[in-house]
Amino acid sequence: MKNLILLFLAVLTLSCTTKAQEKTETKKEYKVTKTDAQWKEVLTSEQYYILRKAGTERPFSSPLNKNYKEGVYHCAGCNTPLYKSEHKFDSGTGWPSFDRAVEGSIDKDVDYKIGYARSELLCGTCGGHLGHVFSDGPRNTTGKRHCINGDALIFVPKK
Ligand SMILES: [Zn+2]
- Measured over the CA atoms of residue 119, residue 47, residue 142 and residue 27, the dihedral's sign is negative
pTM for this entry: 0.82
Catalytic (active site) residue 147: yes
* Domain boundary assignment for the chain: 34-157
Q: How far is the CA of 92 from the centre of ligand 1 (A)?
A: 26
Pick the CATH number of 34-157 from 2.170.150.20, 2.60.40.1180, 3.30.800.10, 2.60.40.10: 2.170.150.20
Q: Which residues contact 95 (CB under 8 A, 6 or more apart)?
A: 57, 59, 62, 65, 131, 147, 148, 149, 150
pLDDT digits (tens, 9 = 90+) for 58-107: 999 999 999 999 999 999 999 999 999 999 999 999 999 999 999 999 99
Q: How far is the CA of 76 from the centre of ligand 1 (A)?
A: 7
